[in-house]
Chains A and B, each alone.
Chain A
Amino acid sequence: MLVTDIDSRRGDRPAGSPCRPSARSGRPNGGPEPRATGSWTPLAGEALLDRLRFTGRPRSPADPARADGLRRCLEQGLGLVLGPALQVDRAPLVITKGRLNQATAGAGDQCGAGFGERPFTVAIACGALIDALFRQLVTIGSIGDPMADGLAALAIDDRQAPLVAWIDRLPGAQHRLLADEVRRQASNLAARWPALHPGWLPRTEESMRVGLVGGAVELSARVDLAVGRPGLEVASVAIVEVKSGMRRPEHRHDLHFYALVEALRNPAPPFVVATYYTRTGELDVEPVDDELLASAARRTLAGAGALVRCPDQTTSTSPAAVGGDETCTGLHCGRPVGPTAQDDEPASAGRAA
Chain B
Amino acid sequence: MAAPAEVITAALLAPATAEVSVETRLAVRDRLLAAAPGLVERLPPGEQVVLTIALLRQLGRATPGPVRTDEPFAWKPAFVRRSLGLAAVEACLAHRFRAPAEAVGPVAAQAVAEWERSGWRTFHWEPWLATLGGGARSAVLAEATTWASTLWTSLDWGQFRDPPRLGGPDDQWVCAASRTVRLKGRSEVRAFLPARPGRSRAGPLATAMVSMAGGTPRPGCEVGLGYLALVAALRSPSRPAPARVIGIWPDAGQHRVVDVTDRLLMDAGELVLTGVAAVVDSTTGPSVDPAVSFGA
Residues of chain A whose beta carbon lies under 8 Å from any beta carbon of chain B: 64, 67-68, 71, 88-92, 132-133, 135-136, 138-140, 144, 148-153, 155-158, 196, 198-199, 201-211, 214-215, 218, 229-231, 264-267, 317-324, 326, 338-353
Decide if B177 is an interface residue (CB 8 Å cutoff). no
Could you mark each residue 69-106 of chain B with 1 if its beta carbon is under 8 Å from any beta carbon of chain A, else 0?
11101111111011000000000000001111110110
Task: Find out whether the CB atom of A156 lies under 8 angstroms from the CB atom of B50.
Answer: no
Decide if B197 is an interface residue (CB 8 Å cutoff). no
Task: Find out whether the CB atom of A149 lies under 8 angstroms from the CB atom of B2.
Answer: no
A183 CB → nearest B CB, Å: 14
Given A198-B99, A348-B73, A351-B283: A136 in contact with B62 (beta carbons within 8 A): no
Sample (9) of A-B pairs whose CB atoms are under 8 Å apart: A133-B135, A157-B139, A201-B101, A210-B252, A218-B216, A267-B2, A344-B78, A350-B68, A351-B69
Partner of B279, one of A152, A215, A351: A351
Given A229-B153, A353-B47: A209 in contact with B2 (beta carbons within 8 A): no
Task: Find out whether the CB atom of B57 lies under 8 angstroms from the CB atom of A341.
Answer: yes
Q: In the complex, which residues of chain A have a beta carbon less than 8 angstroms from the beta carbon of B71? A: 321-324, 348
Nearest chain B residue, comparing its CB with the CB of A155: B136
Partner of A136, one of B68, B74, B134: B134
Task: Find out whether the CB atom of B48 lies under 8 angstroms from the CB atom of A352.
Answer: yes
Q: How far is the CA of A340 from the CA of B142 in the complex (A)?
A: 17
Task: Find out whether the CB atom of A151 lies under 8 angstroms from the CB atom of B135.
Answer: yes
Q: How far is the CA of A265 from the CA of B216 in the complex (A)?
A: 11
Q: In the complex, which residues of chain B have a beta carbon less than 8 angstroms from the beta carbon of A139? A: 101, 104-105, 138, 141-142, 145
Q: How far is the CA of A350 from the CA of B104 in the complex (A)?
A: 31
Task: Find out whether the CB atom of B2 lies under 8 angstroms from the CB atom of A230.
Answer: yes
Q: How far is the CA of A343 from the CA of B65 in the complex (A)?
A: 17
A333 CB → nearest B CB, Å: 15
Task: Find out whether the CB atom of A210 lies under 8 angstroms from the CB atom of B47.
Answer: no
Q: In the complex, which residues of chain A have a beta carbon less than 8 angstroms from the beta carbon of B47? A: 351-353
B138 CB → nearest A CB, Å: 4
Nearest chain B residue, comparing its CB with the CB of A346: B79
Q: In the complex, which residues of chain B have a beta carbon less than 8 angstroms from the beta carbon of A317? A: 63
- Cβ < 8 Å to A, chain B residues 184-214: 184, 186, 213-214
Decide if B64 is an interface residue (CB 8 Å cutoff). yes
Task: Find out whether the CB atom of A349 lies under 8 angstroms from the CB atom of B216.
Answer: no
Decide if B149 is an interface residue (CB 8 Å cutoff). yes
Q: In the complex, which residues of chain A have a beta carbon less than 8 angstroms from the beta carbon of B105? A: 139-140
Task: Find out whether the CB atom of B136 lies under 8 angstroms from the CB atom of A350.
Answer: no
Q: In the complex, which residues of chain B have a beta carbon less than 8 angstroms from the beta carbon of A140? A: 105, 134, 138, 141
Partner of B213, one of A152, A266, A267, A340: A340
Task: Find out whether the CB atom of B139 lies under 8 angstroms from the CB atom of A136.
Answer: yes
Given A207-B251, A344-B78: A267 in contact with B1 (beta carbons within 8 A): yes
Residues of chain B whose beta carbon lies under 8 Å from any beta carbon of chain A: 1-2, 4-5, 43, 46-55, 57-58, 61-65, 67-71, 73-79, 81-82, 97-102, 104-105, 132-136, 138-143, 145-146, 149-150, 152-153, 182, 184, 186, 213-219, 251-254, 279-280, 282-283
Given A64-B1, A136-B139, A138-B142: A352 in contact with B134 (beta carbons within 8 A): no
Partner of B135, one of A152, A196, A264: A152
Q: How far is the CA of A339 from the CA of B144 in the complex (A)?
A: 13
Total CB contacts across the A-B interface at under 8 A: 244
Q: How far is the CA of A341 from the CA of B219 in the complex (A)?
A: 16
Nearest chain A residue, comparing its CB with the CB of B252: A209
Task: Find out whether the CB atom of A153 lies under 8 angstroms from the CB atom of B213.
Answer: no
Given A204-B142, A215-B218, A215-B219: A321 in contact with B68 (beta carbons within 8 A): yes
Q: In the complex, which residues of chain B have a beta carbon less than 8 angstroms from the beta carbon of A208? A: 251-252
Task: Find out whether the CB atom of B79 lies under 8 angstroms from the CB atom of A67.
Answer: no
Q: In the complex, which residues of chain B have a beta carbon less than 8 angstroms from the beta carbon of A67? A: 1
Task: Find out whether the CB atom of B69 lies under 8 angstroms from the CB atom of A267.
Answer: no
Given A91-B61, A340-B215, A350-B55: A231 in contact with B153 (beta carbons within 8 A): yes
Q: How far is the CA of A324 from the CA of B71 in the complex (A)?
A: 10
Given A136-B135, A209-B252, A218-B216: A349 in contact with B76 (beta carbons within 8 A): no
Q: In the complex, which residues of chain A have a beta carbon less than 8 angstroms from the beta carbon of B77? A: 156-157
Q: How far is the CA of A85 from the CA of B217 in the complex (A)?
A: 22
Nearest chain B residue, comparing its CB with the CB of A202: B101
Partner of B67, one of A89, A215, A231, A350: A350
A58 CB → nearest B CB, Å: 21
Task: Find out whether the CB atom of B138 lies under 8 angstroms from the CB atom of A149.
Answer: yes
A315 CB → nearest B CB, Å: 9
Task: Find out whether the CB atom of B252 lies under 8 angstroms from the CB atom of A156.
Answer: no
Q: How far is the CA of A290 from the CA of B70 in the complex (A)?
A: 49
Q: How far is the CA of A132 from the CA of B141 in the complex (A)?
A: 12
Partner of B1, one of A206, A265, A353: A265
Given A139-B142, A267-B4: A343 in contact with B136 (beta carbons within 8 A): no
Partner of B99, one of A89, A135, A148, A199: A199
Nearest chain A residue, comparing its CB with the CB of B138: A136
Partner of A339, one of B78, B98, B134: B78
Task: Find out whether the CB atom of B79 lies under 8 angstroms from the CB atom of A343.
Answer: yes
Task: Find out whether the CB atom of A201 lies under 8 angstroms from the CB atom of B100.
Answer: yes
Partner of B216, one of A155, A209, A319: A209
B156 CB → nearest A CB, Å: 10
Task: Find out whether the CB atom of A201 lies under 8 angstroms from the CB atom of B4.
Answer: no
Q: In the complex, which residues of chain A have a beta carbon less than 8 angstroms from the beta carbon of B146? A: 203-206
Q: How far is the CA of A278 from the CA of B57 in the complex (A)?
A: 39
B263 CB → nearest A CB, Å: 24
B171 CB → nearest A CB, Å: 13
A128 CB → nearest B CB, Å: 12
Partner of B46, one of A71, A91, A151, A353: A353
